[in-house]
Amino acid sequence: MPEIELPNPHELEERREKSFTRRVALVTSVYAVALAIAALGGNSYGREMLLAQQKASDQWSFYQARSIREHQYRGQKLRLEADLVERGPAMREAARAKAEALLQRFADEEKRYNTTKEPIKAEAEKLEQERDRAEKRVFNFEFAEVFLQISIVLASVSILATSRPMFGVSLVAAVLGAVLTGNGFRLLFTLPFGH
């Protein structure tokens, strides 16, 4: 009868541990790539958010300047109207005609500033919507980064402890991070605890 050599149980356990370690290390590198993508998306949309906020602020400043000019012309018009009521009959014809022409000019300028500020307001509101959308994206990326970092740490611990359950938890955290990264790009759903 030929002699059969049975493998050493310690060698089998060592091979299994090496195989587990390799697989977890490979998966951890995928986690790291997903983390890099989430960070890149967060940085990109963060810049977009800041730029939209800056542009919206500029538009609101422009809108406010138009409103101030409108109110200045309205104030001058009202003052001139009061002057004409008070001194109108005593004014010479040429002075009265000049005051009435100036009154018409003030009224026209007031109207012009009133009508030209509305498109500025609409643009500012549009930029605020862009800012808000970018902010929602950034929020997703921030949480994605947290979950992906946690998954990397848990995977590393699973290697050290040779713990498959710990690796399973790292997979769950990584899936959450990947879903949030995808949602950061697509905004398929809104996080209930967002900004």
Contact residues for 17 (Cβ-Cβ < 8 A; gap 6+): 162
Better-predicted residue by pLDDT, 19 or 14? 19
pLDDT reading at 3 higher than 70? no
What amino acid is encoded at 153 in this protein?
V
pLDDT digits (tens, 9 = 90+) for 135-185: 999 999 999 999 999 999 999 999 999 899 999 999 999 999 999 999 999
pLDDT digits (tens, 9 = 90+) for 88-139: 778 888 888 898 899 899 899 999 999 999 999 999 999 999 999 999 999 9
Alpha helix segments (H runs only) across 88-193: 93-161, 164-186
Taking a C-beta distance cutoff of 8 angstroms, is the pair 144, 184 a contact? yes
